[in-house]
Amino acid sequence: MRTSALSLVALLTLGGCLLGPNYQRPAVDAPPAFRFSDAQAKDVVNTTWWVQFQDPVLNDLITIALAENKDVKIAAARVDQFLGQFQSTRSQLFPQVSALANAQRERVPVGSALLPPGVGPVINQYQATLSASWELDVFGKVRRQTESARASLLASEEGRRATILTLVASVASSYVNLLSLDRQMEIAKATVASRADSVHVFQLRYSGGEVSQMELAQSQSEYESSLATIPQIELQIAQQEDALSILLGQNPQPILRGRGLDDLALPMVPAGLPSELLTRRPDLRQAEQDLIAANALIGAARALYFPSISLTGVFGTASGQFSSLFTGPARLWSYAGAVTVPIFTAGNISGQVRQAEAQQQQALFAYQKAIQVAFQEVEDALVSLQKTREKLVVQGREVEALRTYARLARLRYEGGYTSYIEVLDAERSLFNAQLSYAQAQGTVFASSVALYKAMGGGWVVDAERMTAVAYGDGGAPLPPGEPAANSAQPQP
């Protein structure tokens, strides 16, 4: 008896055995610095950067989007799904206990061989049992499955944060683009009004014989050309408002504006090192958790080669009369142990192992690619911000030069030194340059938003606390013993 007990203890002690590789973070070939980093950059990546625009309306729009956006709600529901999956998988580590209560009444034919002598044809049967089953996780199959489910849960949480990051950046970019279109509309309307005045003057002068019909027609054509830009810009504004409405989780509708494009403050350029992206960007943390999940499933698959040991037991009572159901003679019990050993599976287990190993390789390459893409996005955003700011300065000088050119061309025309064609050319060039300058202004702000999105940052945690779908503390509950998202991940 003592030997059997010791054997059972030794068997349970083997539960510390885990098959398969333990996760080790792959080496990352990170450059020492970004190629296009700004010398004036500051470590502001962890702040709620959209506040730096100094537009209360934009702040309100982002708050609404975080509370109502359907993609954020879908991501939150997905976290719940993986939490349930983790709880279900982890439950297999513990005994499964269930209770059964059964009452049955039946009648058999009189004289039936099934009836003992002296027993009537109506039979009552009452039963109450408590049963338990437990599969001993000797070789770590369930623990590896639990490890994988935990990593999948954390990956879904990082996916939710990635959705929030994308949402905030999209709302800010859409709002800035809307202000840029508003500015273009102001320029177009001012140009149309100016050219309408010119047409009126030319009509009067043509009636007085001072100008030719050709000059009048030229003036009218420029007026109609500028007038045609208004419906096009109105279309773009309506489409942008509709797109922004969807981001806000609302039906298409007009969008309130705050500051004008010229009054927005440009956020500071954030600083950081390439290696910091691994902890700042939720999409990279999500890719790593996917890799951890795939890595754990290799051990779960390899455990199928080894015996499966399960224990079952039943304790209860059964009686033909309810009054005697809980008396001593009615007691029943049983217990059993079973060992299942795979002998021949025709490649089923080896196929599952190969499948798990291939999935781990896919997750590894996906993680490595995600890191490379992250470096690319930051580099692209940095150079885009630098070059668009340089372009904006040049275009500003171009607008001023063309404004001077248009003024002097009209003076020369009024003095009779040149034809009206030169005036038209100058005003046409000025109009196009003003529209391009407004577009460039919006591009600079959009590049700044893209840089903050590419850099990631702790502001995502602040943003997710603003969502109406958050779980009290601003995020989905983590499994027992799990570290926070921004803390270092322990090696299994």
End-to-end Cα spacing for the chain: 38
pLDDT in tens, 269-296: 887 777 888 888 899 999 999 999 999 9
Domains of the chain: total:
1
How far apart, in whole angstroms, are the C-alpha atoms of residue 15 and residue 303? 12
Q: Is residue 478 part of a domain?
A: no
**Token pair for residue 152?**
């999948």
| Predicted local distance difference test score (pLDDT) of residue 41 | 63
Residue-wise burial string across 210-231, b where 16 or more C-beta atoms lie within 10 A, e elsewhere: ebeeebbebbbebbeebeebee
In a domain, 396, yes or no: yes
Query: Is residue 132 assigned to a domain?
Result: no
Domain membership of residue 391 (yes or no) is: yes
The overall average pLDDT reported for the chain is: 84
The pLDDT score that the predictor gives to residue 9 is 42
Judge whether 26 and 18 are in contact, CB under 8 Å: no
Q: Is residue 413 part of a domain?
A: yes
Where residue 296 sits, what CATH number does that domain have?
1.20.1600.10
Those residues whose C-beta lies under 8 Å from the C-beta of residue 338, and which sit 6 or more positions away, are 309, 310, 311, 312
Q: Which residue range(s) make up the domain with 159?
A: 16-96+137-307+350-464
Give kind and range of the element (H or E) at residue 125.
strand 122-136
Residue 330 within a domain: no
Give tens-digit pLDDT for 164-180.
Answer: 999 999 999 999 999 99
Name, in order, each residue with C-beta under 8 angstroms of 98's C-beta and a sequence gap of 6 or more: 130, 131, 132
Candidates 386, 382, 383, 165; CA nearest to 271 is 382
Beta strands 308-319; 122-136: pairing state? antiparallel
Per residue in 244-267, pLDDT (tens digit) is: 999 999 999 999 999 999 999 988
Q: pLDDT by residue for the chain (492 residues), tens digit each? A: 444 444 554 455 445 578 888 988 888 887 777 776 666 667 777 788 899 999 999 999 999 999 899 999 999 999 999 999 999 999 988 999 999 888 887 776 766 666 666 666 777 777 888 889 988 888 888 999 999 999 999 999 999 999 999 999 999 999 999 999 999 999 999 999 988 988 888 898 888 888 888 888 988 988 999 999 999 999 999 999 999 999 999 999 999 999 999 999 988 888 777 788 888 889 999 999 999 999 999 999 988 888 888 889 888 787 666 666 667 667 788 889 888 889 988 899 999 999 999 999 999 999 999 999 999 998 999 999 999 999 999 999 999 999 999 999 888 888 888 888 888 888 899 999 999 999 999 999 999 999 989 888 778 877 777 764 444 444 444 444 444 443 334 333
Q: pTM for this one?
A: 0.82
To the nearest 10°, the Cα dihedral for 393, 391, 261, 68?
-150
* Residue 288 lies inside a defined structural domain of this protein: yes
Report how far apart, in Å, the C-alpha atoms of 369 and of each of 28, 29, 179, 274, 317 are: 11, 11, 36, 14, 62
Return all residues near 183 (Cβ < 8 A) that are at least 6 apart. 260, 261, 262, 438, 441, 442
82 in a structural domain: yes
